[in-house]
Structure formats: structure tokens, C-alpha cells
Structure 1
Amino acid sequence: PIYSSTKAAVHSFTIALRRQLRSSTVQIVELIPPVVVTDLHRNLDRVPPRAMELDAFVAAAMAGLDAGREEIVVGLAKTLQMFSR
């Protein structure tokens, strides 16, 4: 419960900060990642199912930044976000 509530708090804070700074030149971008395979996972016996490779994640995140999106939801996080609304 703490992990999920922390993610929700960061999301809410990002929305509020974006609104507060909308008249400035500062752009607030929220990156919502899925589980990404890192060296930490490679040292485990099993990589989490449906985990996204780091290169694919970085490419998707950069595409979102290049497109000028304020909220970049990558991979399986898109599906999870859809169910949370």
C-alpha cells in the first residue's frame, strides 16, 4: 500500500506543480515507467514477467520527450494506468 500511495502522491504533485507553473517557461514532465530490466533483475534467478528491456524503455521515454508530452506512460504502465482511472 505504501508504494502505490507514494506513486499516487507523486502523480498528484506533478499535476499540481504543472498547473502552478503553466505560465512560466518551466515544463513539468511525468515519466511513468513499467518494470524495467536492470542489472538488479539480471542477478535474480528470474526476470519479472513482462518486464521491459532498458533500451526499449529509454527509446519510448525519449520519443515521448521528443513529442513534447507532459505525461509519458511507457509499456505495461499504460494498461495499469487505464485500469486505475
Structure 2
Amino acid sequence: MKARVEISLRPGVLDPEAQTIERSLASLGFEGVEHVRRLKVIELDLAHQDRAAAEKAVEAMCERLLANPVIETYSISIDA
């Protein structure tokens, strides 16, 4: 199974990298770009055969290592 985890900062948490991207796009002439958000994407190949077990394992990985639940949120998608 393949798992994809998308991690982003919680609303209200400053994202200086996204702000820099937004300003840089404007300085390069790309007008009208607003509210840039930066995401981390982590893709995993899993040996699990059971979708529910795979999702539970990836959620534990996110809580313990991949994401900082204090300032980040994450979403998980599992493909067979």
C-alpha cells in the first residue's frame, strides 16, 4: 500500500517561507497571488495489507514523528 501525508501549519501560525514566496511572486510580476500556504508531502510504501491497519500506523507515525501536532495539521490518504 502507498500512503501520502500532507502536513501544513495550523491557521494562525506564521509561515515565513510562504510569505517570502508570496512576496517573490509579486516582485516577479505575478499579480493577484494571495494566501500562499506551504505543504510538506511525505509518501510511504507500506507492507500492510489491511487499509485500516495501514491508516492507523501512518496516523501513529504522524503523531510521533512526521508532524508537530501543536502547530501542524495533517491529512492521510491510502492507496492500494
TM-score (norm 1): 0.28
- When Rg is computed on C-alpha atoms for both structures, the one with the higher figure is 2
More helix by share: 1
Q: Which has the higher contact order (CA 8 A, sep 6+)?
A: 2
More strand by share: 2
TM-score (norm 2): 0.29
